[in-house]
Amino acid sequence: MSEQQLKEQIISGGNIPRHVAIIMDGNGRWAQERGKPRVFGHQHGMHAVRAVVEGCRDVGCEALTLYAFSEENWKRPAAEIKVLMRLLRHYIERERNNLRENDIRLQCLGRMEKVAPAAREAMEEAMEYTSSCSSMVLNLAISYGSRAEIVDAVRALGREIATGKLDPGDIGEEQIAEKLYTDGLPDPDLLIRTSGEMRISNFLLWQIAYTEFYITSVLWPDFRKADLYEAILDFQKRERRFGMVKSSV
């Protein structure tokens, strides 16, 4: 099926995932297969980023969250980190106008204070530049760790308790969710991981309680709109029960 046909099938199927999250994995292996350094894979991964942003926007998703750099990725060699940060900055500087033209708001999730100032400033500037856009939110998870996010949320709640603003008995799921970096976003409906790895790698642990998983062996630099559409079509065939029983039984 062509990309266009896949897109039409998704739209006619209704049930569009409101929020898609992607663990973009396999850049290093993609480069290795070509006898190139790992950063070559990161460079080519940018084509896939562009494709999924456009693809999600075209079928009407409200939010797309891309896992770009984990809290644990800081343990990688300094030279690789430097290239990743430079690529992020270039992506944002290049795509800023395109995002605004397509009415996409950029947001960053993670401990941004650890990010090099040049990359951080470019992101803050692009977030401001796209702040009034409302067709879709593009979340870049950078310096992101889900456990760190939960730690930050617990600290914020603790501060409110210490100042008497909050009673511990009033803490419910909603109060916790409000303190996460994803406050205001629906939980992901669909989580895609490329490169065949069957793990979560500290991504959105709280938010994926009832998310549908889709794992593909495609390496991230090869991932294109058609691959995204296949994942969404697969999602549309699933029956989500949220702990209940099938409506027909």
Interface with Mg ion (CB under 5 A): 25
Binder of ligand IPE out of 17, 21, 26, 63 (CB under 6 A) = 26
Minimum CB distance to ligand IPE smaller for 7 or for 143: 143
Question: What radius of gyration, in Å, describes the C-alpha atoms of the chain?
Answer: 19
> Which residues face 57 on adjacent strands?
none
Report d(CA 38, CA 82) in Å as an integer.
13
Is residue 29 involved in binding ligand IPE (CB under 6 A)? yes
Is residue 28 involved in binding ligand IPE (CB under 6 A)? yes
Catalytic residue among 15, 27, 58, 73: 73
Residue recorded with tokens 């409110």? 160
Is residue 43 involved in binding ligand IPE (CB under 6 A)? no
Torsion sign, CA atoms 80, 92, 29, 26 = positive
DSSP characters over 50-79: HHHHHHHHHHT-SEEEEEEEEGGGGGS-HH
Task: Say which entry of ligand IPE, Mg ion, none residue 91 contacts (CB below 5 to 8 A, set by partner kind).
Answer: none
Report d(CA 59, CA 233) in Å as an integer.
11
Task: Say which entry of ligand IPE, Mg ion, none residue 221 contacts (CB below 5 to 8 A, set by partner kind).
Answer: none
Answer whether 109's CB lies under 8 Å from 182's CB.
yes
Exposure b/e, 36-70, CB count within 10 A at least 16 = b: eebbbbbbbbbebbebbbebbbbbebbbbbbbbbb
Task: Say which entry of Mg ion, ligand IPE, none residue 33 contacts (CB below 5 to 8 A, set by partner kind).
Answer: none
Is residue 188 involved in binding ligand IPE (CB under 6 A)? no
Residues of span 213-242 touching ligand IPE by CB under 6 A = 220
Determine the residue type at 64.
L
Is residue 201 involved in binding ligand IPE (CB under 6 A)? yes
Which part of the chain contacts ligand IPE (CB under 6 A), choosing from 23-31, 53-61, 96-104, 161-169? 23-31
Answer whether 223's CB lies under 8 Å from 48's CB.
yes
Instruction: Verify whether residue 73 is a known catalytic residue.
Output: yes
Instruction: Verify whether residue 139 is a known catalytic residue.
Output: no
Site string for ligand IPE, 61-90 (x = CB under 6 A): ------xxxx--x----------x------
Task: Say which entry of Mg ion, ligand IPE, none residue 146 contacts (CB below 5 to 8 A, set by partner kind).
Answer: none
Residues that bind ligand IPE (CB under 6 A): 23-29, 38, 67-70, 73, 84, 195, 197, 199, 201, 220
Q: Catalytic positions, please? A: 25, 73
